[in-house]
């Protein structure tokens, strides 16, 4: 086993409601396809689309993989302990895994051994290195954390002088997993769709210790691009076994933004790499949930990730090169529009419209409007899901990760000679603060101007969050909290304006339109007045660290 670089992609096929693989997953039985030594229809299609693939001798086999851990200790060290079963043979494989750049994982061997009658403990303690034994403590502490079953096909894929290996795990499922069926809570919630059939592609290539990784990474991205064109494939930041071990095989919970770790960065370019890593975790932690779940929080958090990304690229505008401007930014605007429409419809149905109806003495008269609004919300979600299942989305997701990898290489080459992070942060924080506090009285300007003030508050808030480790404690706590409150208050006013626009295009009665106009105007006036107060009390942010 050699050290390798790896890209993981999911191939997602919408499931039939009564598919037999659901029963197989629930009972622990392998799907019928596992019994056939021939390539499946998907594998044959892949070979037809990519004629340079060379099948390996064990062309197709059933593989069961069991991951082991000790209370999360090994995973916390970046180590993976897994037992792979193929037919009558079992091997324990212990490796280390770390993120090279988002989407590219470095997998390095620790040891590999065949299992005998004494089982995993014997293999581990006889073949393991001393650091691993110390981390493990005792064989009794080691327990299975996930079991995945799949039909595996492998090909050699020579690419630009690089020996690429393509591994295709079809009909991937957890052996012990029982189907989880969410019930609709009311008539305005979307009925859950059956979980999709999941298949995983792993594109990997050896990375010798003394070899430059750049041509290897470029070959892997090129292969991933070909797979996206050949299949409905979507890049992931982690593989299925890692997600299963962490308990997030399906769309469990939406991923919120974490604090940015600048990791000792001293240049603006290095900081942008760190911010890009952080945003990628939120983006790709939610996109499968947007596509596969009815939980609107995935939409909200993915939309936040895209807003944070656009703000980051405004802050670091000098790095907006031709690739960003032609291949990434226009596609993210398309994606942002769909996310925005779906999120606005969610807020309208779940928050603004119920509040509007509750303010009426006869709230029942709004039921028909709520039904119509919900139908429009579901249509917006369907358009978004369709987009996230498209090659267009797959291309821009891969293009972003490749652009970020290229940026990371440039930052590494430049070292400490680039633009000072401290000076850049101080300049940007000051710019957005001055732009926000120069806003005219919020009660005296029009709706569009208040919306721009809200956007400026968002820019300043995200900028402070990105550079939090460079700012004073008061800035990252009190000022950031005030900005969040200001953004939320002005957001309520914007939600009322959006609600009124939606109602004016719906089959509303004259009474309802008149009531809504009065109610929405009252909300906008209150939020403008409250926003003025918060803006007057906003403290000046301070960037304190650095030279």
Q: Encode pLDDT of 166-184 as tens digits.
A: 999 999 988 754 333 333 3
- Shared domain for 340 and 415, answered yes or no, is yes
Residue 50, SS3 per DSSP:
coil
- Shared domain for 370 and 475, answered yes or no, is no
Q: Which of 245-259, 384-398, 484-498 has the lowest mean pLDDT?
A: 245-259
Say if 32 falls within a structural domain. no
Q: Give the number of other CB atoms < 10 A from CB of residue 36.
A: 11
- Shared domain for 361 and 491, answered yes or no, is no
- Shared domain for 73 and 183, answered yes or no, is yes
| C-alpha distances in Å from residue 360, one per residue of 122, 353, 498, 529 | 72, 11, 19, 24
* C-alpha 523 chain-centroid distance: 34
User: Hey, what's the torsion of the CAs at 499, 504, 506, 509, to 10 degrees?
Assistant: 110
- 34 burial (CB, 10 Å; 0-12 / 13-18 / 19+) is buried
Q: Share the mean pLDDT of the chain.
A: 87
Say if 255 falls within a structural domain. no
Cα–Cα distance for residue pair 117/65, rounded to 1 Å:
18
Q: Encode pLDDT of 23-40 as tens digits.
A: 333 334 333 333 334 678
Cα–Cα distance for residue pair 236/355, rounded to 1 Å:
39
Say if 172 falls within a structural domain. yes
* C-alpha 381 chain-centroid distance: 17
Residue 231, SS3 per DSSP:
coil
- Shared domain for 66 and 175, answered yes or no, is yes
Helical (H) or strand (E) element with 533 = helix 510-537
- Shared domain for 233 and 349, answered yes or no, is no
Cα–Cα distance for residue pair 422/467, rounded to 1 Å:
9
**Residue 372 belongs to domain spanning:** 263-419
At 132, which CATH number? 2.40.320.10
- Shared domain for 319 and 443, answered yes or no, is no
Note the pLDDT of residue 263. Answer: 84
Instruction: Quickly state the pLDDT bin for 123 (edges 50, 70, 90).
Output: low
Last residue of a domain, one of 419, 446, 463: 419
Q: Give the number of other CB atoms < 10 A from CB of residue 326.
A: 11
Say if 258 falls within a structural domain. no
Q: What is the mean pLDDT of residues 119-142?
A: 63
Cα–Cα distance for residue pair 55/46, rounded to 1 Å:
11
Residue in the structure block whose two tokens are 């603006």: 268
Phi and psi, residue 172, nearest 5°: -75, 130
CA proximity to 425, closest of 264, 263, 259, 267 = 267
How does DSSP assign 163-226, residue by residue? EEEEEEEEEEEETTPPPP-PPP-STTSPPPPPPPEEEEEEEEEE--TTS-SHHHHHHHHHHHHH
How does DSSP assign 444-482, residue by residue? TS-HHHHHHHHHHHHHHHHHHHHTGGGB-HHIIIIIHHH
**CA-atom Rg of the chain in angstroms:** 26
**Is the predicted pLDDT of residue 138 greater than 80, yes or no?**
no
Say if 33 falls within a structural domain. no
- Report whether 372 contacts 512 (CB < 8 A): no
Say if 307 falls within a structural domain. yes
- Shared domain for 107 and 46, answered yes or no, is yes
- Report whether 170 contacts 199 (CB < 8 A): yes
Last residue of a domain, one of 386, 419, 452: 419
Last residue of a domain, one of 385, 400, 419: 419
Total of domains in the chain: 3
Note the pLDDT of residue 131. Answer: 67
Contacts of 110 (CB under 8 A, 6+ apart): 79, 94, 95, 96, 128, 129, 132
Say if 306 falls within a structural domain. yes
Q: Encode pLDDT of 49-76 as tens digits.
A: 999 999 888 768 999 999 887 666 666 7
Say if 367 falls within a structural domain. yes
- Shared domain for 117 and 224, answered yes or no, is yes
Q: Encode pLDDT of 276-307 as tens digits.
A: 999 999 999 999 999 989 999 999 999 999 99
**Is the predicted pLDDT of residue 192 greater than 80, yes or no?**
no
DSSP state of 539: P
- Shared domain for 241 and 381, answered yes or no, is no
- Shared domain for 89 and 174, answered yes or no, is yes
- Shared domain for 415 and 353, answered yes or no, is yes
């Amino acid at each position: 086993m050699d050290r390798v670089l790896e890209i993981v992609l999911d191939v997602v096929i919408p499931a039939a409601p009564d598919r037999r693989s659901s029963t197989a997953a629930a009972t622990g039985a392998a799907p019928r396809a596992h019994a056939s030594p021939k390539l499946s229809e998907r594998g044959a299609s892949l070979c037809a689309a990519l004629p340079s693939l060379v099948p390996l001798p064990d062309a197709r086999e059933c593989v069961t993989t069991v991951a082991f851990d000790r209370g999360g200790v090994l995973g916390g060290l970046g180590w993976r302990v897994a037992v792979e079963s193929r037919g009558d043979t079992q091997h324990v494989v212990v490796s280390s895994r770390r993120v090279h750049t988002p989407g590219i994982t470095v997998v390095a061997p620790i040891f590999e051994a065949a299992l005998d009658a004494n089982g995993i403990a014997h293999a581990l303690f006889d073949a393991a290195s001393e650091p691993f034994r110390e981390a493990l403590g005792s064989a009794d502490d080691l327990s299975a954390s996930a079991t995945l079953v799949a039909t595996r096909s492998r090909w050699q894929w020579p690419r630009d002088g690089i020996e690429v290996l393509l591994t295709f795990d079809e009909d991937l499922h957890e052996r012990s997993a029982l189907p989880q069926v969410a019930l609709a809570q009311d008539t305005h919630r979307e009925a859950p769709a059956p979980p999709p059939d999941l298949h995983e592609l792993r594109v990997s290539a050896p990375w010798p210790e003394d070899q430059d990784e750049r041509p290897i990474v470029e070959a892997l991205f090129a292969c991933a691009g070909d797979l996206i064109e050949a299949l409905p494939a979507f890049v992931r930041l982690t593989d299925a076994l890692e997600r299963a071990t962490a308990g997030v095989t399906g769309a469990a919970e939406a991923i919120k933004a974490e604090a940015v770790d600048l990791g000792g960065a001293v240049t603006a370019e290095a900081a942008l790499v760190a911010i890009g890593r952080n945003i990628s975790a939120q983006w790709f932690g939610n996109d499968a949930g947007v596509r596969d779940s009815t939980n609107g929080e995935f939409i909200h958090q993915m939309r936040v990730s895209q807003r944070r990304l656009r703000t980051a690229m405004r802050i670091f505008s000098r790095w907006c090169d031709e690739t960003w401007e032609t291949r990434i930014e226009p596609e993210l605007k398309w994606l942002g529009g769909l996310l925005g429409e779906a999120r606005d419809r969610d807020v309208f149905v779940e928050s603004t419209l119920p509040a509007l109806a509750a303010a009426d003495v006869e709230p029942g008269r709004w039921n028909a409007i709520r039904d119509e609004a919900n139908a429009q919300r579901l249509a917006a979600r369907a358009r978004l899901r369709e987009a996230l299942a498209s090659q267009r989305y797959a291309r821009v997701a891969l293009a972003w990760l490749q652009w970020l990898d290229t940026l990371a290489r440039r930052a590494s080459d430049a070292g400490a000679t680039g633009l000072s992070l401290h000076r850049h942060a101080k300049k940007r924080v000051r710019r957005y603060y001055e732009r926000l506090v120069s806003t005219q009285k919020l009660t005296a300007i029009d709706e569009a101007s208040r919306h721009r003030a809200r956007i400026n508050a968002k820019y300043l808030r995200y900028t402070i969050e990105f550079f939090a480790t460079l700012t004073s404690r008061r800035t990252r706590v009190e000022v950031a909290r005030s900005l969040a409150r200001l953004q939320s208050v002005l957001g309520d006013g914007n939600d009322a304006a959006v609600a009124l626009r939606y109602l004016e295009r719906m089959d509303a009665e004259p009474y309802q339109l008149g009531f809504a106009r009065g109610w929405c105007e009252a909300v906008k006036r209150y939020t403008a007045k409250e926003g003025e107060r918060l803006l007057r009390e906003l403290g000046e942010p301070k960037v304190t660290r650095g030279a």
